[in-house]
Structure 1
Amino acid sequence: MQRLLNTELTLWDLLGGRVSIDTAHYFRVLTHQRTLLFVFLALLTFVAADPSGSRNFVPMWFAIILWPVAFSFYLIVYHAQLLSLAALTRRFSWLSMPTPLVGFVALLPTVYVCRSAVIYMSDGEFPYDVSDQLIFYFLSVQGLETVFYRFILPGVRAEIEAEKPSRHLVIGGEQVDLSQLLHIEAREHHVHLTFENAKSLARARLGDIVAQTSAEDGMQPHRSWWVARDPAIRTERRNGRLILRLRDDTEVPVARTRVEDVLEWLENHANPGR
């Protein structure tokens, strides 16, 4: 189960933006204070607006708890899909999934289970067919999820990452935050550093940099490259040669003499069990 939770997933939001995250990290983001505040305000809006029209047919206490219960049920189905996607991703590393599809599949049983509960609590008097409102619920949920993926998730992830103890490498006489480093490419007497949101150039030897790292930090698949440990790394074949495709779509060649070492490192450190 832990391997599934730590398997990196590739998702696409409603506007086509790509999100790479594992299920364990996703759960940490959901339980963050800022996310909980966002969820509370969203649920408060639904309770106040009563788009289902159920308030006149059920007790007030039930009308109030209906939306939190519906949201919890939605999350259970949503996360079950993420775990299923993780299992598939371990077999098909290229797999990606649009979040609107995941949301729609989670929304269907949620809507109909809640409708059944409202009908039961109203002694069968609830007259509305929620299938007529399914498009409204879908668009509402997708709007909120898009806000979450675009504006809540990045900031919360950054805060979570900032809580980790940082390590630094000394490159060209400067300290470099290892947690933000994606890969290094050596060209002549310089190294090109690629970070999460930036790039830089330094005069240094790649061998001196690699000597400061361990297998837990990253791997040197080629004499001119070093890549940081990342579950998002994928292996591909190009003209019979093994290459690594990184989170930012950079293609890194693997030296023929290092293929076995690279595959073993990926198995043990980057994406165990894949």
Structure 2
Amino acid sequence: MHTFDALWHEIHLTLREIPQIFARREAVVFLCLAGLTLIALDPHDFLDHITVLEALFVWACADVIFALVYFMTLLGIAMLPTKTAPKIYLPIPSTFAFTVTTIFVESMIGTLSLGEYTPKVWPDIMAFVVVAQLFEFLFVRYVLPDVLKAIRANRPQGIGGRSLQIGDQTWPLTDISAISSNQHYLQIDFLDAEPLSIRARISDVLNDLPPEAGVQPHRSWWVAAHACPSLISEGRKRWLVTPYGHKIPVARGRIDEVEKWLNTHGVPESNTTS
């Protein structure tokens, strides 16, 4: 999924990473601190009607409910029948999750106070939306990058567990079909998502990729092994083509290297003439 925070800063996530994020110690600590902050501030005078221990119980349940609703919302979006990876503005699912959580909190406090507290759903929802965006922004900007780095560092090695990292962005290597260079920018082509342009040098990127992950047929191109490239001939020119629409020129000095790589890691030379 291509997700964006409140300031439209892009974060690449996979659905598998979402529950792992909430299970990380950093995320749990952040949620606990957020709950304790709300208890200490007591913006709606909850503590006038219930005890501190009851408030702790309510906010602990609220953290769990928020995490579950948030994950299920992202799961529902990810399961939509689209041809490309969905683009998600994170304040939208978080607003929905906090709305559900707020209704629970208001109802729970009304029950624990034996009716002394009257739920104020509408104004409280608006207040919690603002709080949600503040906490989410702080988490996404300052906590999530380290959490994702730790999760991805613990993946099993091999191509299936390798990632491509450029700056503060990381993508699973198995999601990428090809990389091309255009002056100071790289275009990253994905198997099931729109291409992405990012400022970087291809030489710096290729140094971190294992040989079995793909091949460099030209100084400005790299194509992934799982993109199933095949070698064709058109007159004197050689090209690598993939089922994803790539037609990549093969430099004369790299033909032998590409053929050897295809015979070892990829699709053997087809010798097709167009």
TM-score, normalized by the shorter chain, greater than 0.5:
yes
Question: 1:255 and 1:39, CA in 2 relative to 1: closer, same or farther beyond 3 A?
Answer: same
Shift of 1:79: 0.8
Rg comparison, structure with higher value: 2
Question: 1:63 and 1:94, CA in 2 relative to 1: closer, same or farther beyond 3 A?
Answer: closer
Amino acid at match of 2:14: D
Question: 1:164 and 1:199, CA in 2 relative to 1: closer, same or farther beyond 3 A?
Answer: farther
Bigger RCO of structures 1 and 2 (CA < 8 A, at least 6 apart): 1
In structure 2, the residue matched to 1:174 is none
Shift of 1:102: 0.6
**Root-mean-square deviation over aligned CA pairs:** 4.0
In structure 1, the residue matched to 2:86 is 95
C-alpha contact (below 8 Å) 2:215/2:224 kept by paired residues: yes
Structure 2 unaligned segments of length 5 or more: list them: 167-172, 189-197, 227-240, 249-274
C-alpha contact (below 8 Å) 1:10/1:96 kept by paired residues: yes
Question: 1:59 and 1:37, CA in 2 relative to 1: closer, same or farther beyond 3 A?
Answer: closer
In structure 1, the residue matched to 2:126 is 135
Q: Does 1:40 align with 2:27?
A: no
Percent identity (aligned): 25
Distance, in Å, in 2 between the alignment partners of 1:55 and 1:72 is 21
The residue matched to 2:13 in structure 1 has which SS? Answer: strand
Choose the corresponding residue for 2:222, options 215, 226, 236.
226
Question: 1:115 and 1:186, CA in 2 relative to 1: closer, same or farther beyond 3 A?
Answer: closer
Question: 1:138 and 1:228, CA in 2 relative to 1: closer, same or farther beyond 3 A?
Answer: farther
The residue matched to 1:19 in structure 2 has which SS? Answer: strand
C-alpha contact (below 8 Å) 1:118/1:126 kept by paired residues: yes
In structure 2, the residue matched to 1:126 is 117
TM-score by length of 1: 0.62
Amino acid at match of 2:40: A
Distance, in Å, in 2 between the alignment partners of 1:132 and 1:186 is 52
Distance, in Å, in 2 between the alignment partners of 1:178 and 1:111 is 37
C-alpha contact (below 8 Å) 1:221/1:255 kept by paired residues: no
- What per-residue deviation string (whole Å, max 9, x for no partner) do you get for residues 214-235 of structure 1? 4xx35789997324589xxxxx
Question: 1:119 and 1:94, CA in 2 relative to 1: closer, same or farther beyond 3 A?
Answer: same
Shift of 1:11: 1.6
Structure 1 unaligned segments of length 5 or more: list them: 1-8, 169-176, 231-240, 245-252, 257-274
Distance, in Å, in 2 between the alignment partners of 1:157 and 1:185 is 26
